[in-house]
Structure formats: C-alpha cells, structure tokens
Amino acid sequence: MANKIRLGLIGASVGGTWSSRSHLPAVRASADVELTAVCTTRAESAEAARQAYGARLAFDDYRKMVASPEIDAVAVVVRVPSHYQPAKAALEAGKHVYCEWPLGRTTAEAVELSVLAEARGLVTAIGLQARANPALMHLKELVENGYIGEMMAVHVSMLRDGVLTRPSHRTWQRDAELGANTLTIANGHTIDAMRFVTGDFACLSAAVTTQAKQWLDTGTNIWLDVTSPDNIAVSGRLKNGAVVSSHVGHIPYAGSGYRMEIYGREGTLVACGEDSPQLGEVVLRGAKGGNELTAISVPERFTVASSGTPSGEAGNVGQMYALFARAIREGKAQLPHFGTAVELHRLVDAIKEASDAGREMTVG
C-alpha cells in the first residue's frame, strides 16, 4: 500500500453538497489520505470534480471505480437511499469503506453490509462524526474518570429551524420510507453522541411525530405532503441507572441548537453548540461540587486531524479520516464502524416502535 491511503470518493459533486463542504476539504488537507479518484453519475461532472479537487482519476460508474487496483478505500457520500449498492460493491471488491450515516435505508441493509465487511476482514467507518468531535471525546473521558461521580440524569436537545420549507433538491426527504429524515439523521446523530458519552439505553418510551405535514417547495412554490417525522421525544433509563430525556426537532423558527446536560452525584457537565456535534464545534462547561458552571478547555491530544484541516463541517470529517487511515494501517476496526451503525439503526427502530406501540421498550 502507498504511504497515503488511496481514496475513491463516490458523490464528489462540485459546490453546495455535503461532500464539497466537508469530505473533499478534509481529504485535501489530509496527510493520511490521497484523493485518488472521484465518481459522479455523469462523465462531465466527474471530470469537473477531478479538476476542481485535484484527483488523478474520474469515473461515472462506481462499479468501475471500486474495481480499480489504484484504489485502497472508498468513501460513499451520496443520498441515503443510494448508500447500499456502492458500499456493497466496494466491499465485494475488497476495498475498505467509509460510508455516511445512515448506513442503509433500512436496518436489514445495514446488517448485510456489516456482516459482509466483517467476513472480508475489511476496515469500515460510519459517518457518526460526533464520536470524533474533540470536545465530546474529552467529555467522554471526563465522565469515565469520575468528574461527575455517579451519573443520575441526562438531558439532550437539538432543535433546528426551517421545517416549513425545502428547496426542490431536498423535497425527496419528505418520504419517510427513503430513510433520510429527522428521526434517522438529526435524532440519530444526537442520540448516538449521547450514548457515546453516557452509555446505552436500557429502556425507553418515545413520541415520534410529524408536526409539519406539508412543506413548501421553494423552487416550484407548491405545498407537498410529508410523512417524515420532524419531532422525536425520548425518555427512559440508561444501563447505568441514570434517567434520560431527549428532544430532537425541526421547528419553524429560531432553533436553539444543541445541548447535552449530564448530572451526577459529584458534579455537572454541559456541552453546547449552534448545531449538531456531528457538524460543528462544541463548548464544554462543568461544575464540580458546586452550582457555577465554568469553561472546560479541550486538550490538543484529542485533535487527530491533519494540520490545515478546515474547521466547521470539515473538521470532524477530517478527524474521521485520520482514524480511518490509522485503522487501515493497523488492520483493526476503530469506532465508529459499521457495527456501530447497526447498533444505532436498531436503536432508532426501537424508538419508532415504542412510539407506534405507545409503551416502554427494553433496548438490547
């Protein structure tokens, strides 16, 4: 293998996409990963991406790209319904795979991909980037080292504004069956960040609702019916005995952003951000044996992304690529991987089932 991991990125569109805002800037700054190839669905856009991002190869068919001997690993950065096929093809071609979350449109797809990767002995990464956020990595360490003592209660909230409208290229997300909505994405990232720090649920109750039953397509000025949920409230207990509550919602105006509060017998820890910890920076504060929260700095040792990696959306993705490359070189999986994704898919299923059944569910 070359000194750098040779990456082929599927979904390398130029301008405005998640890959152009996060993955591509992170890879360009990486000392561990080389952007060897890009792939889109059209030859012209693939060539434009190749020139824009400095890749050596351009493909308009992911099957040809994953078969290339010049590729060590593949990143799947396309819409959720299209994750399964290219990820499966890459694994079958013997490539390590970094796929965005959710891993599949359904839990069954996620399980199949995880089993296939394990059977082939391949390294995987799933785009649960909050687990690579330096602030949350430090927060997890503080909890594990006893900063708050016995954990007693946890509250999480993540509220984004703008639920009433969508540009035309995003109105497809109104269909719950396509697997890309507030329940799976915003709630998935938020709940996973919590369980990364505090531990897993033992039991839960939930309300999964669609409060805005129509979206205005701002491109056509037409109101569209919506089945995707936009508010998810979860309450329950963690395996460590702490009570937990979470509210993730897409609301009309003035969203309050992200907040996680962890209360223990000996102290309190709070993490706050303007958006999901998957996307941006998080500020930590703590109170140990008192009622005044003070700022907690994050040690530099938690920043593993290459020097020069942009902050913001690309920052945590850069962290992920550094961990992905390390796992490939060491030949062993590191969190978060496809197995982590399967766990979260099953938790999201349990949240939906608890809401549909109107009763508490045992988890795991």
The string of DSSP letters for 11-59 reads ---SSSSHIIIIIHHHHHH-SSEEEEEEE-SSHHHHHHHHHHHT-SEEE
pLDDT in tens, the chain (364 residues): 458 999 999 999 887 789 999 999 999 999 999 999 999 999 999 999 999 999 999 999 999 999 999 999 999 999 999 999 999 999 999 999 999 999 999 999 999 999 999 999 999 999 999 999 999 999 999 999 999 999 999 999 999 999 999 999 999 999 999 999 999 999 999 999 999 999 999 999 999 999 999 999 999 999 999 999 999 999 999 999 999 999 999 999 999 999 999 999 999 999 999 999 999 899 999 999 899 999 999 999 999 999 999 998 999 999 999 999 999 999 877 779 999 999 999 999 999 999 999 999 999 7
pLDDT of residue 213: 97
Q: What is the CATH number of the domain that holds 236?
A: 3.30.360.10
Q: Are residues 9 and 101 in the same domain?
A: yes
Determine, yes or no, domain membership for 254.
Answer: yes
How many helices (H) and strands (E) are present in the chain, helices listed first?
A: 10, 18
pLDDT of residue 2: 52
pLDDT of residue 244: 98
What DSSP element (H or E) covers 109? helix 107-120
Q: Residue 207: name the closest of 248, 258, 157 by CA.
A: 248
- Using the 3D structure, point to which of 75, 104, 122 is the last residue of a domain: 122
Q: Are residues 188 and 95 in the same domain?
A: no
Q: Are residues 349 and 201 in the same domain?
A: yes
User: How many domains does the structure of the chain reveal?
Assistant: 2
Q: Are residues 140 and 113 in the same domain?
A: no
Q: Are residues 111 and 196 in the same domain?
A: no
Q: Tell the residue number behind the tokens 């396509």, with chain if given.
A: 178
Q: Are residues 99 and 238 in the same domain?
A: no
pTM, two decimals, is: 0.95
CA distance 274 to 256: 7
**Domain span at residue 257?**
131-303+344-362
How far out from the chain centre does Cα 114 lie? 16
* Cα Rg of the chain, angstroms: 20
CA distance 53 to 56: 9
Determine, yes or no, domain membership for 175.
Answer: yes
Q: Are residues 193 and 57 in the same domain?
A: no
- Alpha-carbon distances of 363 from 7, 207, 233, 239, 267, rounded to whole Å: 37, 16, 16, 9, 28
Q: Are residues 144 and 11 in the same domain?
A: no
Determine, yes or no, domain membership for 338.
Answer: no
CA distance 264 to 267: 5
pLDDT of residue 80: 94
pLDDT of residue 332: 77
CA distance 10 to 88: 13
What DSSP element (H or E) covers 299? none
- Using the 3D structure, point to which of 92, 122, 152 is the last residue of a domain: 122
